[in-house]
């Protein structure tokens, strides 16, 4: 499946040139927008994998503001496009979460390298976020459940984190693992208590 890229560029001729270059490089152009507002409006319907965002755009929003919304609302990687290489502008671009910036006019090979590097960085970032979320979930489950999993010493049923006693096969199939601790489930505890009481009373009592 081709990588889908949204182009946000207010100069129509430049936008068309970028589109042609992207197609020649093997990418799919999801949409071409000329303002930040148009980009944000069309984003959900087009669902691009990456956005090439011109910094200086016509309209009330510039590329920085639009990129912030794309990054925060959709977690989509952004590469800035700019014809101005002044220190202040580039410094502001570096302060955002955008993954790269490309100076116009650019070479086709430079554009491809920036896109592939940005996609790779984004994939690594998402992987780290998922690993962090999984670890936090596992730690929270362990805090809730405690360090041991109660297992009945008689019938071998295991109590899960919801307090239900399950056959060991069902417990294992759900992946509710932990270190096991021998104890008695309520049913076995009653049976054992009745058995002990009967023995203490002796026969015929």
pLDDT band at 173 (very low <50, low <70, confident <90, very high): low
* Strands, E assignment, 71-173: 78-82, 100-103, 148-152, 158-159, 165-166
Least confident interval from 46-55, 72-81, 126-135 = 126-135
Query: pLDDT tens digits for 64-112?
Result: 899 999 998 999 999 998 887 666 666 676 667 677 888 888 889 999 9
CATH of domain 4-136: 3.40.50.2300
Q: Is the pLDDT of residue 9 over 90?
A: yes
Q: Please state, in angstroms and as integers, the Cα–Cα distance from residue 86 to each residue in 90, 93, 104, 157, 184, following that order.
A: 6, 11, 13, 69, 73
Q: Say what the pLDDT of residue 147 is.
A: 58
* DSSP 8-state class, residue 31: E
Domain layout of the chain by residue ranges: 4-136, 146-201
Asked if residues 27 and 50 have their Cβ atoms less than 8 Å apart, the reply is no
């Amino acid at each position: 499946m081709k990588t889908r890229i949204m182009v946000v560029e207010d100069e129509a001729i430049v936008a068309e040139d970028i589109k042609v270059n992207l197609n020649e490089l093997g990418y799919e152009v999801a949409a071409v927008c000329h303002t930040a507002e148009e980009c944000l409006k069309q984003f959900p319907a087009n669902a691009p994998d990456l956005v090439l965002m011109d910094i200086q755009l016509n309209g009330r929003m510039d590329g920085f503001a639009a990129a912030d919304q794309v990054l925060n609302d959709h977690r989509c990687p952004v590469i800035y496009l700019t014809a101005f290489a002044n220190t202040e502008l580039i410094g502001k671009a570096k302060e955002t979460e955008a993954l790269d910036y490309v100076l116009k006019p650019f070479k086709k090979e430079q554009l491809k390298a920036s896109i592939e590097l940005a996609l790779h960085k984004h994939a690594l970032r998402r992987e780290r976020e998922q690993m962090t979320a999984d670890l936090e979930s596992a730690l929270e489950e362990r805090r809730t459940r405690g360090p041991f999993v109660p297992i009945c010493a008689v019938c071998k049923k295991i109590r899960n984190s919801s307090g239900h006693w399950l056959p060991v096969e069902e417990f294992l199939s759900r992946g509710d693992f932990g270190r096991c601790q021998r104890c008695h489930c309520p049913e076995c505890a009653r049976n054992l208590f009745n058995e002990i009481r009967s023995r203490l009373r002796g026969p015929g009592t």
